[in-house]
Amino acid sequence: MSDVFPPSIVPGREPGDPAALTACADVAVAFCELLDAGDVGAAFELHDPALAFFPPGAPAPLDRAAARAAGERMVHAYPGRRTQHVMGNFIASQAGRDRVEAQYTVTVYELTRQGAGGAEELRTPVVFAIAHERAVFARGEDGRWRYVEQRMIPVAPRNPFDGAAA
């Protein structure tokens, strides 16, 4: 037994229901995968209807419909666009029986570029954006975990939702 950490604390793991914390991490990963697949509608079904979505620099949150529209503009900026969202450093803590607060980092790679005839594959993926995200998840009456709040804080190099809050 370690003298540094009490027996109830496991380094790297927040206290709370492990199944709830894992379910919320799964929701965040699914959101990234659905965006990469171009299925923005399904991605935003992972959000509660009363979602508060804060794109970078937004003075007020977007509702789910506005956030979905911004996501559509980003994902389908040109025909055939492909991205790869990579999520890491997911840290979550239970803030109530049916509430989890989390933070994580998402790096978005551009796999294509806009060419004269549509999307052209890049030989080497390019970092499009890196964002620190803060999220709140809630378990619904159906037992499913969904985003109720999502805040994106750009790290580099640009805001993927630029203009979405305007």
97 found inside a domain? yes
Peptide bond into 157 cis (omega under 30): yes
Given a cut of 50, whether residue 58 has pLDDT beyond it is yes
Residue 161 lies in a domain: no
Average pLDDT, whole number, for the chain?
88
pLDDT at 85: 97
pLDDT tier at 59, thresholds 50, 70, 90: confident
Please indicate, yes or no, if residue 4 is contained in any of the structural domains.
Answer: no
The CATH number of whichever domain residue 133 belongs to comes to 3.10.450.50
Task: Tell me the pLDDT band of 3, cut-offs 50, 70 and 90.
Answer: low
Judge whether 9 lies within some domain.
no
- Under DSSP, is residue 9 helix (H, G, I), strand (E, B) or coil? coil
Q: Which residues pair with 13 in a beta bridge?
A: 10
| Cβ neighbours of residue 60 closer than 8 Å, sequence gap 6 or more | 165
pLDDT at 8 over 60: no
Q: Which residue has the tokens 């029986």?
A: 97
148 vs 157 pLDDT, higher one: 148
pLDDT of residue 84: 97
Tell me what pLDDT residue 12 has. Answer: 54
Instruction: Answer whether residue 2 is part of any domain.
Output: no
What range does the domain containing 139 cover?
Answer: 18-156
pLDDT exceeds 90 at position 163:
no
Whether residue 3 lies inside any domain: the answer is no
119 in the Ramachandran plot: left (φ > 0), alpha (ψ -120 to 50) or beta?
beta
CA distance 53 to 41: 15
Instruction: Specify the amino acid at residue 68.
Output: R
Task: Write phi, then psi, for 103 (nearest 5 degrees).
Answer: -140, 150
Cβ atoms < 10 Å from Cβ of 149 = 18
For the chain, the domain total comes to: 1
Q: What is the pLDDT of residues 75-107, one digit of tens each?
A: 999 999 999 999 999 999 999 999 999 999 999
